[in-house]
């Protein structure tokens, strides 16, 4: 009876060892297309190049199945350009001779306009990973990433900017009246911060898990990845592309196409999503597999040898493990 019980425990210990959990701590980085994806009402947008990296933790519940998390930083870029980009805002113009007020439209017309935007996000991946058997393995992972904006900004350039005023009462347009703030600016530039929203992205990657092949005693992952943002992260809307925030007729304020509004009240850009596709390298710095189940198996094996083959043991040299089965 004692022998049967030990044999059952020995088989069970084999199963525990085979399914023993494994922990991996790693660093990784990657790059490729990493962009703010949107469609502007004027001009055309271009996806940018970027990337990121971070530290990761993997917990394997079976040799072929594990879960990944960690923290990473990712940079996203984009740009919009147009031969002509226009804006307009309504204002009340005060005249002194004679004294009167009149409604007017403050208009801005950019020539050869270009704007670049950048966003830095901190992301937390939550993914499940599947991999094949022993040796170098194929792996695939899928899940989600939660992203929090850390920083955002934009910069604009243009060949020139014409600031003019249209007065519907008299159907007149002024574009060369310095005293009224209607001027032409050569090579204007502007820059400011952007406040993007929180992101939730679908994430997937696949590749090869190299076990000691590339570097001795080191596990390295090489693969491709794709993340697609599900949420609209567009920053809050403000006013027109160029406007006058004070009564100073020559004090101008500038906005990004991601925040500015059109004369109709609609936006230059309604929706912004994060998109990234590229290649990735992950290096495992430390991995650990609990030895407890192996120690139990070794102890049970000693007990089986002691009971099953009593004639072969040497009483003077055999050491019992301390496990007692009554």
> How many helices (H) and strands (E) would you count in the chain?
2, 15
Q: What is the pLDDT of residue 90?
A: 87
Written as tens digits, the pLDDT of the chain (326 aa) is: 545 544 444 444 444 444 444 899 999 999 999 999 999 999 999 999 999 999 999 999 998 999 999 999 999 999 999 999 999 988 887 765 556 788 889 999 999 999 999 999 999 999 999 999 878 899 999 999 999 999 999 999 999 999 999 999 888 898 888 888 899 999 999 999 999 999 999 999 999 999 877 777 889 999 999 999 999 999 999 889 999 888 788 899 999 999 999 878 889 999 999 999 999 999 999 877 654 445 545 554 665 565 555 544 454 444 444 444 44
Tell me the two tokens of residue 324: 């007692």
Q: What is the pLDDT of residue 176?
A: 86
Q: What is the pLDDT of residue 202?
A: 98
Measuring CA to CA, which residue among 35, 37, 34, 71 is closest to residue 51?
34
Half-sphere exposure of 84 (CA within 13 A, CB side): 5
Alpha-carbon distance values, 162 to 59, 86, 157, 168 (Å): 60, 9, 14, 19
Alpha-carbon distance values, 40 to 45, 116, 127, 193 (Å): 7, 13, 33, 19
The predicted model scores a pTM of 0.80
Q: What is the pLDDT of residue 133?
A: 82
Measuring CA to CA, which residue among 290, 267, 274 is closest to residue 52?
274
Q: What is the pLDDT of residue 117?
A: 98
């Amino acid at each position: 009876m004692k022998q049967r019980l030990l044999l059952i425990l020995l088989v069970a210990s084999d199963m525990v060892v085979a399914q023993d959990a494994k922990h991996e701590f790693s660093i990784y980085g990657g790059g490729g297309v990493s962009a703010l994806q949107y469609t502007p009402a004027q001009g055309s947008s271009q996806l940018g190049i970027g990337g990121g990296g971070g530290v990761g933790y993997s917990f394997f519940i079976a040799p072929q199945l594990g879960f990944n998390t960690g923290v990473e930083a990712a940079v996203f870029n984009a740009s919009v350009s147009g031969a002509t980009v226009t804006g307009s805002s309504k204002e009340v113009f005060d005249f002194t001779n004679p004294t009167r007020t009149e409604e007017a439209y403050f208009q801005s017309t950019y020539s050869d306009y270009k704007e670049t935007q950048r966003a830095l996000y901190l992301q937390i991946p939550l993914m499940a990973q599947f991999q094949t058997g022993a040796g170098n393995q194929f792996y695939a992972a899928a899940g989600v990433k939660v992203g929090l904006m850390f920083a955002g900004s934009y910069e604009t350039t243009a060949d020139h900017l014409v600031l003019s005023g249209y007065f519907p009462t008299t159907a007149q347009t002024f574009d060369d009246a310095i005293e009224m703030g209607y001027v032409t600016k050569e090579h204007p530039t502007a820059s400011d911060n952007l406040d993007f929203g929180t992101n939730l992205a679908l994430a997937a990657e696949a590749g090869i898990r190299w076990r000691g092949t590339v570097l001795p005693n080191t596990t390295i992952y090489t693969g491709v990845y794709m993340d697609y943002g599900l949420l609209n992260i567009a920053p809050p809307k403000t006013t027109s592309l160029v406007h006058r925030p004070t009564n100073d007729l020559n004090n101008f304020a500038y906005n990004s196409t991601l925040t500015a509004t059109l004369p109709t009240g609609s936006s230059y850009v309604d929706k912004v999503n994060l998109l990234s596709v590229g290649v990735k390298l992950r290096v495992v710095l430390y991995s650990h597999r609990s030895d407890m189940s192996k120690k139990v198996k070794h102890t049970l094996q000693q007990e089986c040898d002691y009971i099953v083959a009593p004639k072969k043991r040497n009483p003077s040299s055999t050491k019992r493990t301390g496990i007692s089965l009554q």
